[in-house]
Chain A
């Protein structure tokens, strides 16, 4: 059991206004995003969390993380760590391979995708979910996504995800049913990129 007594001198920033309702709304946004990978979905009720967590990313973490989901943060700012520990009780993992949620706030220096848990043949679901902050959608390298959730093709681009990322993602897609799942965030939107979806050609 994690003690929730604040050890920092100041209490962390506020989480959800209405935890039950807000978590459900955020979850529905992610569900919508994952039903239609590559489509931008607005994340409502995202709380103002300490840097480098944006609102949408923080909302999704508060909605989905808890005692059973170790977190790995690429940039572990103390305020962000304290915030997440306080609001979710999630343990923080030093080793990316131990993370259920990997929080990447600087895509250009992201560790290789195979640093994260990819599941195993008997239990593919234990693979990590990688949350990646991007500067914006619609700019940057254009790809044409295909896979479950996409009727024919879905054009997509994100500022910060270039050739190197998409090559890595193709390799991830090649490992299906293993592989990580990704959620891409701006401050108020999310795009889902499950392991079943990848760029055409």
Chain B
């Protein structure tokens, strides 16, 4: 959450008592060892493998038609999923933080449900709901609508796994901000959408952006759920992670890592954006 994962840099840390120097060096060393094994080496490996056969092979791997189709599908999925979940997040946060009603706590915990569900199960449930062997799915099929093993299925499964991201960021933020400003706006004669657009939305823009970034990252990288509903049809229902998997299982490692490197760039970008937003958020909260 935005508020909790603050940067580990409190403005002033008075240097009074601290661990002895050798302990510090030992612990930092241990941490670096862990980071090397689990973060740096894997990252380095991706690039070493991706460029093993040279720059032109790299470019070719990410420019070949199947790769391009996979990129397009991933972008399409993200472009549909993120706005939908953002609108939902705003709506849920508004209902939960601006009003009191029975069942609020239950609703709040239901929002987090998808986080507790294995990605494979996230895919499975949509196969069970609208797969061609289910009543509803075969009815849809008769009307020429195919969901599983096609783009809509990928989008729905991704919607499920990224469902809580925006709401989770907005609810604590809006709870902390309270209702005062909205109430003031209401006494000044503002209508619902005016209050939301002029007052609430600017107040939560950072949290919203943060949630949307996390949502995008997950929807670009989702593998398990998408893998269940996709059918792995090259050039049609392959997202970038699925394309990576196929290349890898065909022992086309270099191409696989080349495409994977795109995802690594995006992950690094996400991490940078995330931490810079956190910093900005901290500065903002210091102002008020």
A, B co-complexed: no
B-side residues, CB < 8 A to A, are none
A-side residues, CB < 8 A to B, are none
